[in-house]
Amino acid sequence: MASSKSSFYSPMFATVVSTALLVIFLGGSNAQLSPNFYATSCPNVLNTVKSVVQSAISRETRMGASLLRLHFHDCFVNGCDGSILLDDTSNFTGEKNANANSNSARGFEVIDNIKTAVERVCPGVVSCADIVAIAARDSVGILGGPTWNVKLGRRDARTASQAAANRDIPPPSLNLAQLTSNFAAQGLSQSDMVALSGGHTIGFARCISFRPHIYNDANIDRNFSMIRQGSCPGRRAQGTTAWHLLTSKLQQGLTTSTMRISSPSKASYTPTRNCTEVAQARPMHK
């Protein structure tokens, strides 16, 4: 794991990923969302979330990258609705054990800790989906990146789908054409795709997830692939698992997109007090 903030952060991340998150995770059809959604119902929510995120990253720097990834994987399956947090029930098999998440997605305990802290100051008010979004933003800022206003007011999912997660979350094995198609299915352009890939400029990845690309792909920058090969051997040594800090160089440029974000709906409800449980329809606290 990186020993300092500077080794976890690259300037390109500031210009690329912050814009991507603003444009993509907020979406183009978000008139009902507002940075001030909890201004009266839970005025201390932002400070409460940031305090827990700060503590988690102080204990493990990598956790900031994990919380950002958790938000990305949540948003790619039926919108940013917190469905990735739900445990399996008798009615559905959730997303936690999907191919891209099983033994890989991290930070659930941090979200639980945030939810507990938020419930102490304003019980039954703040959605888990909003907590994940805020935590991702705070993680980027704490790691040395930029910050932005998070538009709030998302409703938590009442179901989840492992099949949808397996279908929609792009695996590392995809080539450029396949990735472009996968992101297009979410209403995202190739420029959006490149910008979101900037999220990999913080955190760690297993060599097994990108080894075929740096050794076999023909359309990869040779100098870049050689640098990656230096810490990711062509064959994994028996009994070892190699992890590598990613600092990819990315092009800039974005287009507006309309990714689904689970905006407030007409059906009122109170957010669950445990992010692993399904929210029930009932009058919403104001």
What is the CB-side half-sphere exposure of residue 101 using CA atoms within 13 A?
A: 30
Distance CA 32, CA 22 (A): 16
Which amino acid, residue 38?
A: Y
- Cα 140 to the chain's mean position, in Å? 11
DSSP state at residue 21: I
130 assigned to a ligand binding site = no
Angle at 155 between CA 148 and CA 34, to 5 degrees: 35
Instruction: Tell me which DSSP letter residue 34 carries.
Output: B
Give the dihedral sign, CA 206/97/150/138. Answer: negative
> Phi/psi at 245 (nearest 5 deg)?
-75, 125
User: Is 200 assigned a ligand-binding role in the annotation?
Assistant: yes
DSSP track, 169-187: SPPTT--HHHHHHHHHTTT
Strand partners, 204: 245
Flag whether 201 is marked binding: yes
Q: Which candidate in 71, 73, 244, 285 is catalytic?
A: 73
Q: Is 83 a known ligand-binding residue? A: yes
**Token pair in block for residue 102:** 């099983």
**169 touches 178 (CB < 8 A):** no
Angle subtended at Cα 184 by Cα 176 and Cα 35, rounded to the nearest 5 degrees: 120
* 285 is a catalytic site residue: no
What is the set of active-site residues? Answer: 73
Question: Binding site for heme b: which residues?
Answer: 200
Question: Binding site: which residues?
Answer: 74, 77, 79, 81, 83, 95, 170, 200-201
Question: Binding site for substrate: which residues?
Answer: 170
Question: Binding site for Ca(2+): which residues?
Answer: 74, 77, 79, 81, 83, 95, 201
